[in-house]
Chains A and B, each alone.
Chain A
Amino acid sequence: MEIDPLIFRLSIFILSIFVGYYVVWSVTPSLHTPLMSVTNAISSVIIVGAIIAGLSGNSDSVFNISSIFGFLAIVLAAINIFGGFLVTQRMLAMYKKKKKDKK
């Protein structure tokens, strides 16, 4: 008997939760705000679903009710991707070590 592919996806999901658990515990508390903004940006990988939805119209009519929702989702996810990564970049650039110790 063959294993349902859903089981494989479920395995990936469960293992990723564990990976996430250990990786996030090792994040230093001072970077918790950038952590939130970067998780925001990467969860917008949902844009792949939005793109498939946006391309679902046929060549005669690009816009149908389903693809319109896709396009809207693309805009939202794109705001998040660019906004999230850039604001993270901006924040991380501010974290500096002591330049020189005068002691």
Chain B
Amino acid sequence: MISANSSAIFYLVSGVLFILALRGLSSPETSRKGNFFGILGMIIAVTVTFLSTGNFSTGFIYVLIFIIVGGSIGAFIAYRIPMTAMPELVAGFHSLVGLAAVFVAISAFLNPEAFNLGYPGNIKLGSLIEMSIGAAVGAITFSGSIIAFFKLQGIMSGSPITFKGQHLLNATILISIVVLIYFLCSTQSSNLFWILLVVSFLIGFLLIIPIGGADMPVVISMLNSYSGWAAAGIGFTLENTALIITGALVGSSGAILSYIMCKGMNRSFFNVILGGWGATDETSKNISKEQRPVKSGNADDAAFLMKNASSVIIVPGYGMAVAQAQHALREMVDTLKKNDIKVSYAIHPVAGRMPGHMNVLLAEANVPYDEVFELEEINNDFANADVAFVIGANDVTNPVAKTDPQSPIYGMPVLDVEKCKSVLFVKRSLSPGYAGIDNDLFYKENTLMLFADAKKMTEDITKNL
């Protein structure tokens, strides 16, 4: 048993260790040490909790058993999950944080004595407010993440689901949550508490269904942020510094990532969460139906072009992840490098389904991270490169974003792929990308379309090099 003061100090220490864990991610060299700090912080927090309750009876054994059960499940998932499934995994994990916050809030509401918050039906007002906010945000995180998970996993269609009066309904529900919290706090009624939870689950679900597949980077970051605010809400209830610090860190981290993702698409946050592009683009889809001539080639042509190049820039996108082509791509690059061809990778901020998705896949395929560049770092190099190899990306290379103010993606930062001497475009068909607009790049003089599965095409090119 340790005093409340010393346990508070230890919670502060673990909060600081969590800050260092995030700080470590500023460069890949320090990142592993950062992760270690995070683990250490967690061990301290859990140990101090045991010591401060001083309860080592049967309950303690059960707690250990449940930690081991959950831990083994978590460890199993962590080792088995393929890197291409990271977005689903992260969405799934967010839902668990949300649900855990809800459960802790329920437990505290039913048995406030255990948390020193007062008595059932007479919970301290401040704690009740914090608890209900934590529970509501947790519930939104849970159901929202479940929908995001289903969409990413393909269980649910990635296209936006919209209906009439959707925004009005959502606004009504959001206001009703505030009203419910107000009455819950003034009446202490447990019925209102359950209604609040149900309504929060519902709004989480309704908020995410109108958002389309390619906006998932924003959604995942947003839910990341919510899970942090839920944790902070519970942290206030439990008067626990480690939780408050962590909640604030995670909350602002997710918010910054959402901001970066929105910036990468030149859209406002509200524009994204109020419904996807796919729903608003009927007009542009119809206009672009005209047939235009396209040059298509095979692996042999592509190999020839690349063999005679002195520098190649590779532009990966979500299609590479779908085709699991990252290893084949690395092998192709190895062959190119043997022929003294300079190769670099260009990553658009919203490539893939979550922030940094492409970087992880390339790292998995043993691509050194100092060959991988962000949009701003590499965009000027396209003009000097001989070949751009676009694999599974589309909208992020569309020059229309720079030239046509009518286009829905106008103003979105894009990779200047068209400035390359020649462009190789690996794609299964001419179909437009997520934004539903045609890519002008397909019809350019210096573009060669390679219609095939990304992995197979890359392997064939390697054979022909």
| Interface positions of A (Cβ within 8 A of B) | 5-6, 9, 12-14, 16-17, 19-21, 23-57, 59, 62, 64-67, 69-99
Contacts and interface: CB of A to CB of B under 8 A. Distances in A.
Question: Secondary structure at chain B's binding surface: helix, strand, loop or mixed?
Answer: helix
A75 B70 CA distance: 4
A51 B356 contact: no
Given A20-B253, A33-B357, A45-B243, A69 B238 contact: no
Nearest to A36: B90
Interface residues of B, number: 117
Contact of B49 (A17, A25, A48, A94): A48
Interface in B308-337: none
B63 A71 contact: yes
Contacts of A51: 46, 49-50, 53, 63
Question: Secondary structure at chain A's binding surface: helix, strand, loop or mixed?
Answer: helix
B317 to A, nearest CB: 15
B227 A27 contact: no
Contact of A55 (B59, B103, B252): B59
A43 B228 contact: yes
Given A49-B243, A90-B79, A30 B100 contact: no
Contact of A5 (B48, B59, B239, B347): B239
A79 to B, nearest CB: 4
B398 interface: no
Contacts of A31: 25, 28, 31, 356, 359
A19 B32 CA distance: 21
Contacts of B356: 29-36
B74 A79 contact: yes
Given A45-B42, A69-B107, A28 B77 contact: no
Contacts of A29: 260, 347, 349, 355-356, 359, 374
A45 B242 CA distance: 8
A66 to B, nearest CB: 3
Contacts of B366: 94, 96
A39 to B, nearest CB: 4
A42 B71 contact: no
